[in-house]
């Protein structure tokens, strides 16, 4: 990891760069696949599944018997862990539900807001180097709580044309309505346009590599919403001498093992801690099955020394991390003043892994600095707010003239007439 000491403010943007390709680098590939899926549907899906996943599938839809078989392939302990996580995620997201809001803005004018579920949602679940069945919990549980009618899941098959049994078990447990063995750009395109076998959806959720991220952004050009432009995983830890160096190193490595394009950063007011964490990373790295992946991510990462907490937090807000761990003697200062972060983890015994799996918060979060303007996935992500209004005769008398004056000032006579006719009727 690159060590940086007291960087000058004018250099912050350079040292905080993410190791990602620009959209232009991969947009041409995404456009090509989108166009082919739009024109050829399942034929194009089969072509790209063969090309990218190395398998020819006679059927992309997961069959009921495959789901039944999956349950017997995973241990009872893992099933129990998944059910525990599901329960905690349900509790936290159910608590986010809000009631109808109604107000009389002036006598006779009643306005209210109600929420309705998005009817058709698509979930993208990575399944390559790490089958992220935990992401199904994070997406399908709130989708079900929101009342989404159709929950379409796409995940890439392995070389044998199979889907990891934990993915199938979790999807079934959470009420996913269809599971499809399709990954990458072609999966996003299928859910954007719809094919004979895969339903078109109204909003697409889920993380993925940079190609999936750009594909989701392209989907918005075709009338499909997305949760956020979430790309490679990232973590920033703020720590000082009050933290445990081995814990900090383990947290950094927990994100580094996600992928070679992940990024982890330690920001510390302690030079001693930085040295200790660097040593711990090397020791722990050698024990990891995914150490080659983690090592490449570590090469993209930073150990940054800042002379005080105030400047450290300014740097952190500039970065806007997806995951932010606070292990300092001034935790409250960071909690009160953090502005840009997807999810915050506080104290020595709150690893980021807890949020990834079972504490209850959602792990589908904004990356690449988008924490400055996006929220992580929550119950409202699967709903729309609709406003209603009802105006009585008294209400029309109270606001009618104001509407007429404003419409006339904008040169919209028909708008004015719609009110004037009603006011004339009320005079009679």
Asked if residues 212 and 54 have their Cβ atoms less than 8 Å apart, the reply is no
Check the annotation: does 330 bind a ligand: no
Q: Are residues 303 and 413 in the same domain?
A: no
Q: Are residues 51 and 27 in the same domain?
A: yes
Pairwise CA distance, residues 132 & 293, whole Å: 16
Q: How many C-beta atoms lie closer than 10 Å to residue 358's C-beta? A: 18
What tokens appear for 331 in the block? 């935790």
Check the annotation: does 363 bind a ligand: no
41-79 pLDDT, tens digit each: 999 999 999 999 999 998 999 999 999 999 999 999 999
Check the annotation: does 93 bind a ligand: no
Q: pLDDT-based confidence at 22, cuts 50/70/90?
A: low
| CATH code of the domain containing 81 | 3.40.50.1980
Residue 221, domain member (yes or no): yes
- H helices within 147-264, ranges in order? 165-173, 184-193, 210-219, 245-256
Residue 23 confidence (pLDDT): 67
Q: Are residues 56 and 166 in the same domain?
A: yes
Average pLDDT on 275-297 reads 96
Q: Are residues 84 and 209 in the same domain?
A: yes
pLDDT at 230 over 90: no
Asked if residues 306 and 269 have their Cβ atoms less than 8 Å apart, the reply is yes
Q: Are residues 173 and 236 in the same domain?
A: no
Average pLDDT on 174-189 reads 97
Q: In the chain, what's the furthest Cα-to-Cα distance?
A: 88
> One of 234, 257, 322, 330 is an active-site residue; which one?
322
93 is a catalytic site residue? no
393-426 pLDDT, tens digit each: 999 999 999 999 999 999 999 999 999 999 999 9
Residue 219 confidence (pLDDT): 97
89-104 pLDDT, tens digit each: 999 999 999 999 999 9
Range(s) of the domain holding residue 359: 232-375
Check the annotation: does 186 bind a ligand: yes
Q: What is the DSSP string of 116-142?
A: EE-SEEEEE---SSS--HHHHHHHHHH
Q: Are residues 76 and 177 in the same domain?
A: yes
Q: Are residues 245 and 371 in the same domain?
A: yes
Residue 386, domain member (yes or no): no
Check the annotation: does 21 bind a ligand: no
pLDDT at 146 over 80: yes
Name residues whose C-beta falls within 8 Å of residue 121's C-beta, 6 or more positions apart in sequence.
143, 148, 150, 151, 152, 201, 202, 203, 204, 205, 382
**Strand 109-117 vs strand 383-391: parallel, antiparallel, or unpaired?**
antiparallel
Residue 323 confidence (pLDDT): 98
Q: Which residues pair with 181 in a beta bridge?
A: 155
pLDDT at 312 over 90: yes
* Counted domains in the chain: 3
> One of 323, 330, 352, 363 is an active-site residue; which one?
323
364-394 pLDDT, tens digit each: 999 999 999 999 999 999 999 999 999 999 9
Q: Are residues 317 and 192 in the same domain?
A: no
pLDDT at 280 over 70: yes
More confident residue, 208 or 327: 327
Average pLDDT on 190-195 reads 98
Residue where a domain stops, chosen among 177, 203, 227: 227
Pairwise CA distance, residues 352 & 255, whole Å: 9
């Amino acid at each position: 990891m690159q060590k940086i000491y007291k960087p000058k403010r004018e250099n912050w943007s350079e040292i905080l760069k993410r190791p990602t390709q620009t959209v232009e680098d991969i947009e041409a590939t995404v456009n090509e696949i989108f166009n082919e899926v739009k024109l050829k549907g399942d034929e194009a899906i089969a072509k790209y599944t063969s090309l990218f996943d190395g398998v020819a599938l006679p059927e992309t839809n997961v069959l009921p018997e495959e789901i039944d078989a999956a349950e017997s392939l995973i241990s009872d302990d893992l099933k129990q862990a998944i059910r525990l996580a599901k329960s905690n995620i349900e509790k936290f997201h159910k608590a986010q539900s809000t009631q109808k809001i109604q107000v009389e803005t002036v006598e006779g004018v009643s306005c209210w807001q109600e929420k309705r579920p998005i009817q058709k949602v698509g979930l993208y679940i990575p399944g390559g180097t790490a089958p992220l069945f935990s992401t199904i919990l994070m997406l399908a549980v709130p989708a079900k709580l929101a009342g989404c009618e159709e929950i379409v899941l796409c995940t890439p098959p392995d070389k044998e044309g199979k889907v990891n049994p934990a993915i199938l078990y979790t999807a079934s447990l959470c009420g996913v309505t269809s599971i499809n063995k399709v990954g990458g750009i072609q999966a996003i395109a299928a859910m954007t346009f719809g094919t004979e076998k895969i339903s078109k959806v109204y909003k697409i959720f889920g993380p993925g590599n940079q190609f999936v991220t750009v594909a989701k952004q392209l989907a918005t050009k075709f009338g499909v919403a997305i949760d956020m432009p979430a790309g490679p995983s990232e973590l920033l830890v703020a720590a000082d001498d009050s933290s445990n160096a081995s814990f900090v190193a383990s947290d950094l490595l927990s994100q580094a093992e996600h992928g070679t394009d992940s990024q982890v950063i330690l920001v510390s007011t302690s030079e001693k801690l930085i040295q200790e964490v660097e040593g711990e990373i090397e020791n722990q790295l050698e024990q990891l099955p995914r150490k080659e992946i983690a090592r490449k991510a570590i090469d993209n990462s930073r150990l940054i020394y800042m002379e005080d907490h105030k400047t450290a937090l300014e740097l952190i807000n500039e970065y806007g991390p997806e995951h932010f761990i606070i292990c300092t003697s001034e935790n409250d200062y960071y909690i009160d003043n953090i502005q840009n972060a997807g999810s915050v983890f506080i104290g020595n015994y709150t690893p980021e892994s807890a949020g990834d799996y079972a504490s209850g918060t959602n792990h589908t979060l904004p990356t690449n600095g988008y924490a400055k303007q996006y929220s992580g996935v929550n119950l409202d992500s699967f709903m729309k707010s609709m406003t209603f209004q009802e105006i009585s005769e008294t209400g029309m008398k109270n606001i009618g003239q104001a509407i007429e004056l404003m419409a006339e000032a904008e040169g919209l006579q028909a708008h004015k007439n719609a009110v004037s006719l009603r006011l004339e009727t009320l005079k009679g």
